[in-house]
Amino acid sequence: NAGVTQTPKFRVLKTGQSMTLLCAQDMNHEYMYWYRQDPGMGLRLIHYSVGEGTTAKGEVPDGYNVSRLKKQNFLLGLESAAPSQTSVYFCASSRGQLNEKLFFGSGTQLSVL
Amino acid sequence: RKEVEQDPGPFNVPEGATVAFNCTYSNSASQSFFWYRQDCRKEPKLLMSVYSSGNEDGRFTAQLNRASQYISLLIRDSKLSDSATYLCVSFRGGNNRKLIWGLGTSLAVNP
């Protein structure tokens, strides 16, 4: 049982490049989330989805886009990467409510030069 | 002031010690709470959920004090493997429902 799988684990981008982070869960969860974690800032919600075909903005959505075309996948896109987007990104999922256990992926370390 | 605040530590304790962390929250709309454990450079993992006054799971006990707006995590008989950062999370209900994450408390258990 894989749980939540994120790819890639590491990536280095140049300013202005684009990329997509992939998240897949095999637990049939309704809710999926993208967080970023920075020193001194804690976990901050970028975007989330409450079901297939839906997305919503979190606390820090600017510079990111997401899609949830299939229930098991949640994609995070950076159209034009900036150094301020250097961070560790975590995908997570939960069964059906915000106040339930979150299952996290192992994270993506992204550096934007 | 942050909505969820934790002492960043680090807490350095010997093996076998009992250690307690507090987490304070400022929003009375907070309905439930969670403690997550995060190892260095790894993903957070749920340690305990608190939906009422408290919860206990083996060596770990969480207690909620709504009057004083804090939640504590007590770890008894500390193990080397308990060394990690412990994240306090509150679920804020109402019209603007969201999870509020603390910055974490670092624990180092020493042999």
Query: What pLDDT, in 10s, does the model give residues A66-77?
Result: 999 999 999 999
Residue A99: which pLDDT band, with cuts at 50, 70 and 90? Answer: confident
> How many CB atoms within 10 Å of residue A6?
23
pLDDT digits (tens, 9 = 90+) for A41-94: 889 999 999 999 999 999 999 999 999 999 999 999 999 999 999 999 999 999
Report CA B87 to chain centroid distance, whole Å: 5
Contact at CB, B102 and A101, closer than 8 angstroms: no
Contact at CB, B43 and A105, closer than 8 angstroms: yes
pLDDT digits (tens, 9 = 90+) for B39-55: 998 999 999 999 888 89
Contact at CB, B43 and A107, closer than 8 angstroms: yes
Cis omega (within 30 of 0) on the bond before A83? no
Contact at CB, A99 and B32, closer than 8 angstroms: yes
The whole-number pLDDT of residue B51 equals 86
The whole-number pLDDT of residue A70 equals 96
The whole-number pLDDT of residue A111 equals 97
Q: Number of CB pairs < 8 Å for A and B?
A: 41
Q: Which residues of B4-30 are buried (b: 16+ CB within 10 A; e: fewer)?
A: bbbeeeebebeeeeebebbbbbeeeeb
Question: Is the CB of A93 inside 8 Å of chain B's CB atoms?
Answer: no
DSSP-assigned beta bridge partners for residue B110: B14
* Contacting residues of B for A40, CB less than 8 Å apart: 103
CB–CB of A19/A70 below 8 Å? no
Nearest Cα neighbor of B86 from B110, B60, B54 is B60
> How many CB atoms within 10 Å of residue B81?
8
